[in-house]
Amino acid sequence: MSLLSRRTWPRGLRMAGAGLLLAVLAGCASAPREPSGSEEVAYFDRSLPSLADGALMSPREDGASLDFSNPALARVRQALLDAHERWVGTPYRLGGSSSRGIDCSALVQRVFQDNFRIELPRTTDDQVHEGTPVARDELLVGDLVFFRPPGAYNHVGIYVGEGYFLHASTSQGVILSELDNVYWRRHYWQARRPMEPEQLVQRTTWFDS
């Protein structure tokens, strides 16, 4: 017996197939499937402290915080925090790229496009080849941080300084999370620097020439 043409499939089956195709084509590193351990679940249930409240522990091995008296670092960080304010709370949606729902690689792409006029690839698999590799203890604001959590997808976010990164979480949507959280530390993969902060700041949409 020959296979039926897709046109003869029931409408619900066609829609399900289209949804699966969208997920495959999106190629986004969906935010990790959150852990079941009580310590890690508690982390996702609590509110994150404001970065404006003071210096927080940095992931740098020497224990030194980033020097935000450096104008380039400070301005890039502010641009990223402004982006967080615009996107915070946006729900996670695999394949999404708007305020109605967005996935992790689309958020990274939109932030760099809207704030630095830089066109990054759409997928995490492509973003991981951008720029130059960076050691975890040498992270600067604007670096991309990548994770390999359990499941089919990798994950990506943007380092904003003082141990925090901006990303789209499946559980809470767009949020700031701590690199030193036990879950993210366990699944940390690598970091890339698309552009030096001094170059990024010159591309910010509010740069004063």
**Residues with catalytic annotation?**
104, 155, 167
CA distance 22 to 195: 30
Phi first, then psi, for residue 64 (nearest 5°) are: -85, 135
- Sign of the alpha-carbon dihedral angle for 198, 72, 204, 104: positive
Q: Which secondary-structure segment (H or E) carries 168? A: strand 164-169
CA distance 152 to 1: 34
* The length of the chain, given as a count of residues: 209
Name the residue with tokens 């767009």: 174
CA distance 27 to 33: 16
Nearest Cα neighbor of 110 from 168, 189, 36 is 168
